[in-house]
Chains A and B, each alone.
Chain A
Amino acid sequence: MKELSLNILDVAENSVRAGAANISILLSLDGAGWLTLTIADDGCGMDEQTVRRVSDPFYTTRTTRKVGLGIPFLQLAAAQTGGALQIDSEPGKGTTVKATFDTGSVDFTPIGDMPSTLATLIMGAPNVDFHFRHTTPDGEVVLNTDQLRATLGSEVSLAELEVIAWIKDYMREQYDRLGGKNE
């Protein structure tokens, strides 16, 4: 993938498909340049065998079940910087996927367009509560759909095109302000 935000979109869509009501996506950059990505959901979860299968595409060769590449791609993106990926999951409770990246590595994939990723996720699953937070030593970008839903009321969907456009701009402005502080 060209941008980490695309990996995030892909992996968070697994959480949507797992029937999650809440999905949190956290990006946290520390002062030493390590980025931690955490995608946590309260969806159906996975048993141990499934977790193994998901993180190792070759482990599945003997089963007939379809293998995805979403998590292996994210794992690769983390590993090539010297970071790692970890999955914690419990059937009936939910799943947490955590990946670490050394942003100083030449093989670090840029984060890219997070506002588009959030907009795409929300359009596809307007009833899910997404909690997004991206923190850096300079500040943070935050988006919580429960807050937006409180403003919109029950009749207007978050998937309305004008609402989606607002969400993208709202996040872009926060990113611009964050970027401005680095200059």
Chain B
Amino acid sequence: MKTLAELAAIRDKMQNKVTIREGEGQTRIVVGMATCGIAAGARPVLNAFVEGVADAGLGDTVTVTQTGCIGICQYEPVVEVFEAGKDKVTYVKMTADKVKRVLDEHIKGGSPVAEYTIDMAQK
């Protein structure tokens, strides 16, 4: 059973890490969570990224955040990936199943999954 004592243990572990965090080369994964995104299935996509990043131990260098309407509702769920010194990559019509490949090939491997990007969808 989950107890508050367990939460306190997480806190103790985290407190030792807090200081290392700042100023690191961060990758940001941003998920559009306006009405259009949520209706199209953005919540499981967001959760798959959050769980995938945590499972891969990438929490120190990768952040997963939410934003409002990105303005391309017909392509929702939309996910944008920002990496320092690189062009933004926009993934469209995302699903929880597609998340693993994006994490493996792009976030860990460094090469975006071209198939899932908006450039492909527009062709």
Interface residues of A (CB under 8 A from B): 1, 6, 9-10, 13, 17, 68-70, 73, 113, 116-117, 119-120, 123-124, 147-148, 151-153, 155-156, 160-166, 169-170, 173
Q: Measured between C-beta atoms, what is the minimum distance from A83 to chain B in Å?
A: 20
The answer on a CB contact under 8 Å between B15 and A155 is yes
For the complex, is B100 an interface residue (Cβ under 8 Å from A)?
Answer: no
Q: Measured between C-beta atoms, what is the minimum distance from A111 to chain B in Å?
A: 14
Most A CB within 10 A of own CB, among B1, B47, B51: B47
- 0 or 1 for each of B1-26: is its CB under 8 Å from A? (1 = yes): 11010111011011100100000000
Q: Please, which residue of chain B has its CB at the minimum distance from the CB of A69?
A: B35
Interface residues of B (CB under 8 A from A): 1-2, 4, 6-8, 10-11, 13-15, 18, 33-36, 38-39, 43-44, 46-47, 50-51, 53-54, 59, 64-66, 68
Q: Please, which residue of chain A has its CB at the minimum distance from the CB of B6?
A: A166
Most A CB within 10 A of own CB, among B35, B39, B53, B59: B35
Q: Measured between C-beta atoms, what is the minimum distance from A147 to chain B in Å?
A: 8
Distance of A141 Cα from B66 Cα, bound (Å): 26
Q: Measured between C-beta atoms, what is the minimum distance from A183 to chain B in Å?
A: 19
A-B contact count (CB 8 A): 85
Q: Which residue in A6, A113, A156, A164 is a CB contact (below 8 Å) of B50?
A: A164
Residues in A with CB closer than 8 Å to B33 are: 9, 13, 120, 124
Residues in B with CB closer than 8 Å to A68 are: 35
Chain A to chain B contacts (Cβ below 8 Å), 16 pairs: A1-B39, A6-B39, A9-B43, A10-B35, A68-B35, A119-B50, A120-B47, A123-B66, A151-B11, A155-B11, A155-B14, A162-B10, A162-B54, A163-B14, A165-B54, A170-B2
The answer on a CB contact under 8 Å between A156 and B14 is yes
The answer on a CB contact under 8 Å between B43 and A156 is no
Residues in B with CB closer than 8 Å to A117 are: 43
Residues in B with CB closer than 8 Å to A73 are: 35, 39
The answer on a CB contact under 8 Å between A123 and B50 is yes
Q: Measured between C-beta atoms, what is the minimum distance from B57 to chain A in Å?
A: 10
The answer on a CB contact under 8 Å between B15 and A161 is no
Distance of A1 Cα from B112 Cα, bound (Å): 30
Instruction: Given A6-B43, A160-B10, check contact A1 B38 (CB 8 Å).
Output: yes
Residues in B with CB closer than 8 Å to A113 are: 43
Q: Measured between C-beta atoms, what is the minimum distance from A54 to chain B in Å?
A: 12
Instruction: Given A155-B18, A169-B2, check contact A148 B66 (CB 8 Å).
Output: no
Q: Measured between C-beta atoms, what is the minimum distance from B48 to chain A in Å?
A: 11
The answer on a CB contact under 8 Å between B35 and A70 is yes
Taking A120-B43, A160-B14 as given, write out 4 further A-B residue pairs in contact, using a Cβ cutoff of 8 Å, ordered by the A residue number: A9-B38, A116-B43, A119-B47, A120-B46
